Amino acid sequence: MNDQNARLIAVRILTRVEKEGAYANLLLRSQLSGLTQSRDRNLATALVNGVLKNKLTLDYALRKHLNKPMSALPQEVRAVLRTGVFQILLMDRVPVPAAVNESVDLMNQLNRTYSPLVNSVLRKAAETGWNFEWPDQKKETVRYLSVRYSHPEWMIKRWLARWGQEETEALLKANNEPSLTSIRVNTLKTTRQELKTLLESQEIEVVDGEYTPESLILKDFGGLDQLWEFQNGYFTVQDQSSQLAAHLLGAREGDSVLDVCSAPGGKTTHLAQLMKNKGTIVAVDMYPQKLDLIKESAERLGITMIKTVESDARILEGIGEKFDRVLVDAPCSGLGVLRKRADLRWQKREDEISKLPELQLAILLKAADHVREGGELVYSTCTTEPEENFEVIKAFRQLKPEFVSVDLSGSLPFAAEERDLKQLRKGVWQILPHHHNMDGFFIAKFRRPWMA
């Protein structure tokens, strides 16, 4: 019966996302508290994220068995059909007959008129499986990749031009993998081993993250904020690639740190943790309500060293003069986090990307003015796009030639792979989901040398 509640919640969330443009992650967070079993929270999360990500592929498969377009059906019927066919085609853990029957039962509860249609379409989809025709791979490569891997065509065109078909296909596949939840153990309160044992005792599947010493990876877990361990500040949800930014900034106990695009505070609180809550961190963001999120996290995690300042980072007012370390985790298109943020690929528009580099460079230039002699500066984004990464860094080097790149190859908390060394030695690193099994992320590090 609870399985059915999880499905109903998933269908309601998907309907609202489509009808009202609501954010799936926020709805999941509020609705999952109605499910007491972690198994049900995981199922609802997997259904919502899986359907959102694979929408184009699922609609393409469904259309083979419908005599009208999906857009002609009410939103809740589309949501039932999509969750049904997602379970049939892409979810190993649900037996096919159960996926069909549960969907028909769900339709009965929501609007009986459509139950025969759901029954007939899903039965045909179950019989056909993946045996249907795709667009021609050679003649219609972009359309093929778009419907096969459920990504907008504009993203595919960019990546094909940059990387060719094989790499693009690998990235598309990686973006569609179920998101593994990476958490950061709060080493101010506990250890990785202690937290792992606590989570395992609640039958949560946990493994150590391979890139940072404080990361744990959880499989398909929804509603983490319900856990006692979360509420008591034992961990924070953060991808390993984001955790690397704080490691590479290299702040030590007692340092002064400026974090200019800091909200909601993932990296700020990680820095505080690595600094053992000793020294100062000035956390800037433009939006006061987002700064409140940093204060809440700091309180939950037992961190007292962060001072928040509301300012436009292109101006940086009220923060004091020079700092030992400065972090610029710039606003970006977020194309590196498509695996985690299931609906992001449908929200983004290509023209947004062209506006970002000017903002990113302006923030980086201003932040650089606050690095003391001998101090260090990290620029990071969660995107794969060169205009926001390599191009921004190139312009920065031209405008601030006094800054030197810092070799990153020896500072990682794991042994770097051969293929990454060339970039790392030059002080930059583009992390790609299909190469590193982490969120796509970019890091560059600079030092302001001592004056002679």
Ligand X SMILES: C[S@@+](CC[C@H](N)C(=O)[O-])C[C@H]1O[C@@H](n2cnc3c(N)ncnc32)[C@H](O)[C@@H]1O
Phi-psi label, residue 280: left if phi above 0, alpha if psi -120 to 50, beta otherwise:
beta
Residue 34 within binding range of ligand X, rule CB under 6 A:
no
Contact 56, 151 (CB under 8 A): yes
Q: For residues 18 and 312, which CB has a smaller minimum distance to ligand X in the complex? A: 312
For residue 160, the 8-state DSSP code is: H
Question: How buried is residue 433: exposed, middle or buried, by Cβ count under 10 Å (0-12/13-18/19+)?
Answer: buried
> Within positions 203 to 242, which residues make up the interface with ligand X, using CB under 6 A?
242
Encoded one letter per residue, x for contact with ligand X by CB under 6 A and - for no contact, window 327-346 reads --x-x---------------
**How far from 393 is each of 33, 241, 328, 369, 409, CA to CA, in Å?**
43, 19, 12, 16, 18
* C-alpha to C-alpha distance for 11 and 82, rounded to whole angstroms: 9
Q: In whole angstroms, how close is the CB of 379 to ligand X at the nearest point?
A: 12
> Within positions 296 to 325, which residues make up the interface with ligand X, using CB under 6 A?
312-314
Q: In whole angstroms, how close is the CB of 290 to ligand X at the nearest point?
A: 5
* C-alpha to C-alpha distance for 367 and 378, rounded to whole angstroms: 10
Size of the site for ligand X (CB under 6 A): 18
Residue 267 within binding range of ligand X, rule CB under 6 A:
yes
Number of other residues whose CB lies within 10 A of the CB of residue 397 = 14
Phi, psi (5° rounding) for residue 103?
A: -70, -40
Q: For residues 85 and 382, which CB has a smaller minimum distance to ligand X in the complex? A: 382
Which helix (H) or strand (E) segment is 375 a member of?
Answer: strand 371-381
The interface region with ligand X, picked from 141-149, 262-270, 404-412, 436-444 by CB under 6 A, is 262-270
- Which of 164, 287, 394, 399 is the binder for ligand X (CB under 6 A)? 287
Q: In whole angstroms, how close is the CB of 356 to ligand X at the nearest point?
A: 10
Clarify whether 382 is annotated catalytic.
yes
Q: For residues 84 and 440, which CB has a smaller minimum distance to ligand X in the complex? A: 440
Cα dihedral sign, 144-149-150-154? negative
- Which of 285, 343, 376, 420 is the binder for ligand X (CB under 6 A)? 285
Residue 295 within binding range of ligand X, rule CB under 6 A:
no
Q: By three-state DSSP, how is residue 238 classified?
A: coil
- Which of 160, 188, 286, 416 is the binder for ligand X (CB under 6 A)? 286
The interface region with ligand X, picked from 282-290, 347-355, 402-410, 415-423 by CB under 6 A, is 282-290
Is 266 annotated to bind ligand?
yes
Residue 54 within binding range of ligand X, rule CB under 6 A:
no
Is 262 annotated to bind ligand?
yes
- Which of 115, 181, 236, 262 is the binder for ligand X (CB under 6 A)? 262
For every residue of 249-285, DSSP letters joined together read HT--TT-EEEESS-TT-HHHHHHHHHTTT-SEEEEEE
Number of other residues whose CB lies within 10 A of the CB of residue 149 = 20
- Which of 90, 145, 263, 408 is the binder for ligand X (CB under 6 A)? 263
Is 261 annotated to bind ligand?
yes
Q: Give the CA count within 13 Å in the CB-facing half-sphere of 283.
A: 26
Q: In whole angstroms, how close is the CB of 327 to ligand X at the nearest point?
A: 7
Is 265 annotated to bind ligand?
yes
Question: Considering 27, 382, 432, 438, which one is annotated as catalytic?
Answer: 382
Q: For residues 100 and 271, which CB has a smaller minimum distance to ligand X in the complex? A: 271
Which helix (H) or strand (E) segment is 185 a member of?
Answer: strand 180-185
Burial 261-296 (b: 16+ CB within 10 A, else e): bbbbbbbbbbbbbbbebebbbbbbbbeeebbebbee
Angle between helix 141-149 and helix 153-176 axes, rounded to 10 deg: 40
Q: For residues 314 and 447, which CB has a smaller minimum distance to ligand X in the complex? A: 314
* C-alpha to C-alpha distance for 346 and 151, rounded to whole angstroms: 8
Q: For residues 214 and 329, which CB has a smaller minimum distance to ligand X in the complex? A: 329
Cα dihedral sign, 41-42-43-48? positive
Residue 266 within binding range of ligand X, rule CB under 6 A:
yes
Q: For residues 152 and 264, which CB has a smaller minimum distance to ligand X in the complex? A: 264
Is 263 annotated to bind ligand?
yes
**How far from 217 is each of 89, 181, 196, 352, 361, CA to CA, in Å?**
26, 6, 10, 32, 34
Residue 290 within binding range of ligand X, rule CB under 6 A:
yes
Residue 261 within binding range of ligand X, rule CB under 6 A:
yes
Is 105 annotated to bind ligand?
no
Q: Which residue ranges make up the annotated binding site? A: 261-267, 285, 312, 329
Site residues, ligand X (CB under 6 A):
242, 261-267, 284-287, 290, 312-314, 329, 331
Residues tagged active-site: 382
Q: Binding-site residues for S-adenosyl-L-methionine, please? A: 261-267, 285, 312, 329
